[in-house]
Amino acid sequence: MNSIFIYLLAGSVMTFGASLTQAQTISGFPPRLGSSNMNNKPVTSGNQLVPIKQENPKGSGAVFQTGPNGALNGKDNNMQTGFADVPGVTLDSNPIPLNVINPGAEFSPGKMIANVGGFPIFRADVIGDINQLIESSMATAPESVKQQQRELALPFAVERAIEQKLLYADAIRTMPDRTKLDEILSSIRGQFTELRLPEMMKNLKVKTPAEVESKLRDLGTSLRHVRDAWVDAQFAGFFVREKVNVDPEITHFEMLEYYNENRKDYYFPSQVRWEQIVIRFDKQASRQAAWDRIGELGNEIVFGASLAAIAKRSSEGFQAEKGGYHDWTSRGSLVNEIVEKAIFSLPVNQLSDRIESKSGFHIIRVLERKQEGYISFSEAQAKIKSAIKKEKQEAVLQKYVDKLKKEIPVENYVSSDKK
């Protein structure tokens, strides 16, 4: 399971598939591959779980609502299609009976691709993530290439969903009072409607849940799947926090050792903040005209005018609208070698003479310079502590999921198809 790493953050479970790039999620879709709010976590009142309001929960869910023993609720094991607590959304009127879903059949949104302790995982539970990553990173690629990427990503996405579902199934089987399950899940669904759905509408720039549903359908998923994924993560996250140590002790020695072992990660090259005015040869009648013009602008600055104001008014450089300002520039990053040599050699706050390059004349002023070096341990300490904490969380949660895989039956139909 080296390709899948599981994180328990803020009471929610979130995973990263090695084949899926982080932070490439379409706005409005549940960011299973993005960042989380580390300050929010579920709270309890007596023996009852009270879902908190979270901005970015993650998880994976199923089309079917499931009971505490893994049984499907609803008549004749049919897929439930109502979404009564989210007004304005009507899902398919022709539900797919579970007993006609053939794991070996052609993929469709209602096809069951895995089963975890009686809890089904459907194609629509994973295909949305895959499609949103493909569309964000290779939207103009031919459909044949996109399909190839879907096939490559699918096994990783299914494995991720299985791990998430294992935590959900474990929470169901170990909760102390199952009579409160419906009440808890209903409360969490209410939080989705109140918090997550309005956020999705804002991010997707739509006004109704029906429009959100339409966009999710384009990705091969649905609002029900997104909601159930949210609910699963919130519910499982609370119970997992009770069973694994997600706040490990981190010693000063561990942090210092990490810093020394990864010192190259804290190196920074020489950098300069600077400003300039530019007069281009291709915009003047002659080289002499360019020489004269930049001299006029330079004299205005010498006699008290703001370089930024002169640049905005008269410079022909690409940063003219920003007053000729260039933020921290690392050595070796500029194409213009003459300008780079100047900014790394000129005294700070001293206006240069005319500097000639292939494109034109420049007058440059260095605002601030940082010599190359390493971020100190004290400066890096907070990030180091966070990195070590994440590593320890991964390890303890990975161990727990491995334990669940031995206790809870898992059927992965995608893996079976490829053998």
Q: 274 and 321 share a domain?
A: yes
Q: 345 and 285 share a domain?
A: yes
Q: How far apart are CA 75 and CA 67, in angstroms?
A: 13
Q: 54 and 89 share a domain?
A: yes
Taking only the tens place, the pLDDT of each residue in 323-341 is: 999 999 998 899 999 999 9
207 vs 67 pLDDT, higher one: 207
How far, in whole angstroms, is CA 136 from its chain's centroid? 12
pLDDT of residue 403: 94
158 part of a folded domain:
yes
Mean pLDDT of 222-237: 89
Measured in degrees and rounded to the nearest 5, phi and psi for residue 78 equal: -85, 150
Q: 95 and 204 share a domain?
A: yes
Q: How far apart are CA 168 and CA 410, in angstroms?
A: 13
Predicted confidence band at 109 (pLDDT cuts at 50, 70, 90)?
low
Q: What percent of the chain shows pLDDT beyond 70?
A: 73
Predicted confidence band at 176 (pLDDT cuts at 50, 70, 90)?
confident
240 part of a folded domain:
yes
Q: 245 and 393 share a domain?
A: yes
pLDDT of 84 above 60: no
Q: What is the mean pLDDT of the chain?
A: 76
pLDDT of 27 above 70: no
Predicted confidence band at 58 (pLDDT cuts at 50, 70, 90)?
very low
pLDDT of residue 415: 61
pLDDT of residue 32: 32
174 part of a folded domain:
yes
Q: 149 and 231 share a domain?
A: yes
264 part of a folded domain:
no
Mean pLDDT of 277-302: 95
Predicted confidence band at 239 (pLDDT cuts at 50, 70, 90)?
confident
Mean pLDDT of 253-271: 94
Q: 161 and 200 share a domain?
A: yes
Q: 61 and 134 share a domain?
A: yes
pLDDT of residue 108: 57
378 part of a folded domain:
no
Considering only 94-98, 134-138, 176-180, 222-226, which range has the smallest mean pLDDT? 94-98
Range of 362's domain? Answer: 270-371
Predicted confidence band at 367 (pLDDT cuts at 50, 70, 90)?
very high
Q: 233 and 328 share a domain?
A: no
Q: How far apart are CA 42 and CA 197, in angstroms?
A: 19
Read off the amino acid at residue 409: P
Predicted confidence band at 262 (pLDDT cuts at 50, 70, 90)?
very high
- Residue 132, classified by CB atoms within 10 Å of its CB into exposed (0-12), middle (13-18) or buried (19+), is buried
pLDDT of residue 61: 32
377 part of a folded domain:
no
Q: 362 and 227 share a domain?
A: no
Q: 147 and 274 share a domain?
A: no
Non-local CB neighbours of 399 within 8 Å, separated by 6+ positions:
none
Domain with 293 in it: what CATH number?
A: 3.10.50.40
Please report how the helices 223-243 and 209-218 are oriented relative to each other, as an axis angle in degrees rounded to 10. 90
258 part of a folded domain:
no
Measured in degrees and rounded to the nearest 5, phi and psi for residue 273 equal: -105, 135
Predicted confidence band at 347 (pLDDT cuts at 50, 70, 90)?
very high
Q: 124 and 53 share a domain?
A: yes
pLDDT of 94 above 80: no
109 part of a folded domain:
yes
pLDDT of residue 250: 94
In sequence order, what are the beta bridge partners of 368? 273
381 vs 177 pLDDT, higher one: 381
313 vs 414 pLDDT, higher one: 313
For residue 16 the two structure tokens come to 């990263």
**CB-CB neighbours of 379 under 10 Å:** 11
- Structurally, the chain folds into a number of domains equal to 2
**CB-CB neighbours of 205 under 10 Å:** 10
pLDDT of residue 248: 87
Predicted confidence band at 92 (pLDDT cuts at 50, 70, 90)?
very low
Nearest to 48 by CA among 233, 232, 186: 186
Considering only 61-75, 185-199, 299-313, which range has the smallest mean pLDDT? 61-75
